[in-house]
Amino acid sequence: MKKVLITGIDSFTGVHLSSYLEKLGYDVYGTSLFQSGDKKHQCDITKKSDLLIVLNNIKPDFIIHLSGISFAAFDNSEEFYRVNTIGTTNILDSLIELELNPTKIILASSATIYGNQGLEILDESLCPQPTNHYGASKYAMECLAKNYFNKLNIIITRPFNYTGISQAEHFLIPKIVKHFRQMKQTIELGNIDVSREFNDVGYVCEIYKKLIESSISSEVVNICSNRGIKLLDVIDMMNEMSGYKIEVKINPAFVRKGEIKSLTGSTKKLFKLIGEVEQKEFKCTLREMLDA
Which residues form the catalytic set? Answer: 134
Please state, in angstroms and rounded to a whole number, the distance separating the CA atoms of residues 94 and 52.
Answer: 6
Please state, in angstroms and rounded to a whole number, the distance separating the CA atoms of residues 41 and 287.
Answer: 34
95 to 47, 89, 156: CA distances (angstroms): 14, 10, 17
Across-strand partners of 195? 230, 262
Residue/partner pairs of 75-83 with CB below 8 Å, 24 or more apart: 77/133, 80/133, 80/134, 80/136, 80/137, 81/133, 81/136, 81/137, 81/140, 82/46, 83/45, 83/46, 83/137
227 to 81, 137, 281, 282: CA distances (angstroms): 31, 27, 10, 10
- Contact 211/155 with Cβ under 8 angstroms? yes
